[in-house]
Amino acid sequence: MLRPVCSFLFVTCVLACGASADRSDLRASAESARAADAGADASTAAAAAADQVEIVTGVPDHNRDPAVVAVRIGQSALCTGTLISPRLVLTARHCTSRTVEQVGCPPSGVQVLGDRDPSTLAILVGDDVASAHVVAHGTAIVAPGGVTLCEADIAIVVLDQDVKIVKPLPVRSHGVARGDRVRAVGYGRTGDHGAAGSKMVREHVRVLSVSAAELTVGEATCSGDSGGPALDEDTGEVVGVVSRGGPSCEGAGVHNIYTRADTFSWLVDEAFAKVAGLDHDGETDGGAPASAPARGTKQKPPSDVGGACDTAADCAAGVCITDADGKYCSRPCGTGDRCPTHYHCLPVSGGPSANACVGVL
């Protein structure tokens, strides 16, 4: 069901130089070095334990993702969106449309009854809706045609003024693949019975499957997360928009479905063209058109890997490592899933993931 809140290496290399060096000596030296490295890694792993949880609710964002904004619908309903330009917010279509009461996929009939009045959409910047401030309202909505939401639950709100206090994020032009990891951010409830309104982040969320227009992850979002982004962990680009999930917000078997942003790159281009048209009246004194609308720029999002923790629930990827250096946040790892610089993927005890990123000095 669609759910807006209204219803819904450290590597050390030693080079031996000299034409007369004995090859067997070089080989022995290399083997000794590898054995020493392996011993160091094994010792580190033996001393490392991991408290791990499946992240559903995430952890407080603490202004790490300022371009992720709240979209207040009227006076009470809430969705999430992303500034992709000072004048554009990317969100879900069911947040910007009037829909039938029950919406499911595949569709059994008409789902979209029409666009909302864009002026009823307020954009708030801040970590908590209660203290966030309104920075703009909608003036137009750019959305796909059609009367169903399935595989097309995406829209862009054109704002009545520039939001200059936040740097916008770019939208990635190519899609994700099964096994990729993304960063999820939103203002949704912290569980089936939790409250909405605080911005939460979940790091290193695995993509389970990909279709032509959607991607699925095994992490639940909840009411209020609708329209929120899936972000590329390395570049901060938007790769998806929260559409729906279930069967609940937490528990076994939860999943979440995002609309792929790259599939609707034409919609993004259309929205930028619309802003350019709105700004056409703002010509320079020489009669030349105003500059093209600003787009977001790539930037690796901050991570809490290495940050202090007491339990796994303190960490955005759901892993808290305990070793000789103390406790710190980490994340799962494995084949093709590399760790950050100065961390090695090593076996750990104490959780569902056999390996985690462990700090190696």
Q: What is the CA radius of gyration of the chain?
A: 24
- If you write DSSP's letter for every residue of 192-212 in order, what string do you get? TTPPP-B-EEEEEEEEEEE-S
Residue 351 sits at φ, ψ, to 5 deg, of -170, 180
Sequence-ordered list of residues with C-beta below 8 angstroms from that of 110, at least 6 positions apart, any chain: 100, 147, 148
Q: Is the previous residue joined to 144 through a cis bond, with omega within 30 degrees of 0?
A: no
Classify 301 as helix, strand or coil: coil
Quote the CA–CA distance of 352 and 64 in Å, as a whole number.
Answer: 27
Q: Which of 349, 44, 340 is nearest to 357 (CA)?
A: 340
Instruction: Specify the pLDDT at position 34.
Output: 39
Instruction: Specify the pLDDT at position 268.
Output: 97
Look up residue 87 and give its two tokens.
């004048």
- Please count the other Cβ atoms lying within 10 Å of the Cβ belonging to residue 356: 29
Query: pTM score, two decimals?
Result: 0.84
> Please, where are the H alpha helices in 47-108?
93-96
Quote the CA–CA distance of 298 and 9 in Å, as a whole number.
Answer: 25
| Structural domain boundaries in the chain | 1-8+65-301, 47-57+302-359
For the stretch 180-224, pLDDT in tens is: 999 999 998 777 777 789 999 999 999 999 999 999 998 767 878
Strand partners, 183: 231
- CATH class of the domain comprising 1-8+65-301: mainly beta
Regions in the chain scoring below 70 on pLDDT: 1-47, 54-57, 220, 279-291, 351, 361
